[in-house]
Amino acid sequence: MAGSTTDGTALAEMILAQGHSSYAPWLDRGPHLDLVERRALPEVRAEAWRHTNVARWYQAILEGSEPAREAHRIENPAEVEVVDFADPRAAELQEQRGEETYRLTAQPIAALNALLLGAGIAIRVPAGCAAREPVRIFDLPAAYQRVLVIIEPDARIELIEEPSTYTHRLVEVVVRPGGQLVHRRLQAASSHRECSLLAIRAEARACYELSQLSLGSDLRRNDIIATLAGNAANVSLRGAWRLDESRHLDNQIAVHHQAPGGTSRQTYRGVAAGRSRAVLNGRIEIAPGAQQSDATLNTKNLLASDTAEIYAKPELEIYANDVKCSHGATVGAIDAEAVNYFRTRGIDEHTARALFVRGFLREAIDDPDTAQTLGLIQ
């Protein structure tokens, strides 16, 4: 198929012809199938895919190049429940997750995930759990995968997504009142074309913190939808990316304040070198009635070559009148004065730039443990 253009219609027809996956039959695929039947997959010119050629990802789907893998590779503390989606218990947990505030069923990419799904796990952290060991996801044995995470009230845990290859991974997180999830994910440099969708619902006083380091791939798209669904919820999204060669990373991030008194913090640092392309669309939406919301988005970016491209666009949509909201986006070059400073201390230019870039990324990933986990400390 190399060189041919693949549109959503062709892909929809292929899926309808071959039939959807029979894995996790309890999963309600009705709305997803409906979306595909209406041929509503994004076209190449779709606004949401403005900076990423969706046809190249469709092509990866059609080629199905993913090697088959044996089993899940997950580590978890004993008190945490981990269930394969093939197990009927997963259906119960899916049912318990409750209202789907982020409207996954309207997401075309989520539809592809549901229809082609080959692996899934549900993770439930019981109420009040304070496990010290993290849950670590290394690998799921299919190209289309799902992770459902439920943090019950007042439970606290850390979730680490280790580098892994997939065509699409959907992670759904529900943090119940007073619960806390510290989520770290590392996306290593790769030659794959892959998409991920992370949907979070933070209920009253829940706290969700994401730290993510992405090194780009042939094509990588990260969608994040965070919803502050309960009063005084707290969401922190921290992202750093460092791209080189002709790697591509497209971040589409939306934070919805739907209840009063919520706080959201978004901090992103990105560096693009070589002929790479980095995209950040960061959107803050404050619903009517979500008074006293406090939302910030801050992104700084460095262009490390003349041929790299960076697109950074914050967006605000505010329907409440008593809120604090701010955003800022900058794109600049690596500070030549700083590089010279390193060099006058005997550090060669290449190392100087690398140290500078790592320091810059650590402005987003500032917690030492996280920086360690994500490999930002030597």
Partner 1 sequence: MSLLRVEDLHVEVDGKPILAGIDLAVDAGEVHAIMGPNGSGKSTLANVLAGRPGYDVIRGSVTVDGEDVGTLSPEERSLRGLFLAFQYPIEIPGVSNMEFLKAAVDAHALARGEEPPSAVDFVKRARVAAMRLQFDPDFLKRGVNDGFSGGEKKRNEILQMLILEPRLAVLDETDSGLDIDALQIVADGINAFRANSNAVVLVTHYQRLLNYVVPDHVHVLAGGRIVHSGDRGLALELEERGYGWLDD
Handedness of CA 100, 105, 111, 114 (dihedral sign): positive
Cβ atoms within 10 A of the Cβ of 249, count?
26
Instruction: Pick one of 274, 342, 367, 375: the residue that binds partner 1 (CB under 8 A).
Output: 342
Q: How far is the CB of 349 from partner 1 (least distance, A)?
A: 7
- The yes or no reply on residue 359 touching partner 1 (CB under 8 A) is yes
Q: How far is the CB of 310 from partner 1 (least distance, A)?
A: 19
3-state secondary structure of 288: coil
Residue length of the chain: 378
The one segment of 4-12, 16-24, 242-250, 357-365 that binds partner 1 by CB under 8 A? 357-365
* Among 95, 101, 111, 188, CA closest to 148: 95
Beta strands 135-139 and 156-161, pairing class:
parallel
Instruction: Pick one of 356, 370, 373, 374: the residue that binds partner 1 (CB under 8 A).
Output: 356
The one segment of 115-123, 220-228, 281-289, 358-366 that binds partner 1 by CB under 8 A? 358-366
- The yes or no reply on residue 336 touching partner 1 (CB under 8 A) is yes
- The yes or no reply on residue 241 touching partner 1 (CB under 8 A) is no
Instruction: Pick one of 18, 65, 326, 351: the residue that binds partner 1 (CB under 8 A).
Output: 351
Contact 56, 219 (CB under 8 A): yes
Instruction: Pick one of 13, 43, 315, 349: the residue that binds partner 1 (CB under 8 A).
Output: 349
The one segment of 74-82, 178-186, 277-285, 354-362 that binds partner 1 by CB under 8 A? 354-362
Site residues for partner 1, window 12-31 (CB under 8 A)?
Answer: none
Instruction: Pick one of 60, 361, 370, 373: the residue that binds partner 1 (CB under 8 A).
Output: 361
Number of residues counted as binding partner 1 (CB under 8 A): 25
- The yes or no reply on residue 369 touching partner 1 (CB under 8 A) is no
Nearer CB in complex with partner 1: 122/374: 374
Q: How far is the CB of 347 from partner 1 (least distance, A)?
A: 5
- The yes or no reply on residue 353 touching partner 1 (CB under 8 A) is no
**Cα(77)–Cα(372) distance, integer angstroms:** 21
| Burial annotation 167-187 (CB, 10 A radius, 16+ → b, else e) | bbbbbbbbbbbbbbbbbbbbb
Q: How far is the CB of 370 from partner 1 (least distance, A)?
A: 13
Q: Please report, as a single letter, which amino acid is at residue 265.
A: R
Give the 3-state DSSP-derived string for 104-160, with helices as H, strands as E and coil as C. Answer: HHHCHHHHHHHHHCCEEEEEEECCCCCCCCCEEEEECCCCEEEEEEEECCCCEEEEE
Q: How far is the CB of 361 from partner 1 (least distance, A)?
A: 7
Residue 165: what are its φ and ψ, rounded to 5°?
-105, 145
User: What is the residue whose two structure tokens read 């009148």?
Assistant: 321
Biggest CA-to-CA distance, the chain: 65
3-state secondary structure of 70: coil
Residues 6+ apart with CB under 8 A from 221: 52, 57, 194, 195, 196, 249, 250, 251, 252
- The yes or no reply on residue 348 touching partner 1 (CB under 8 A) is yes
Contact 189, 214 (CB under 8 A): no
Q: How far is the CB of 209 from partner 1 (least distance, A)?
A: 19
Q: Please report, as a single letter, which amino acid is at residue 289.
A: G
- The yes or no reply on residue 189 touching partner 1 (CB under 8 A) is no
Q: How far is the CB of 300 from partner 1 (least distance, A)?
A: 11
Nearer CB in complex with partner 1: 325/355: 355
Instruction: Pick one of 98, 335, 369, 372: the residue that binds partner 1 (CB under 8 A).
Output: 335
Instruction: Pick one of 25, 46, 317, 341: the residue that binds partner 1 (CB under 8 A).
Output: 341
Q: Which residues form the interface with partner 1 (CB under 8 A)?
A: 335-338, 340-349, 351, 355-356, 358-363, 366, 378
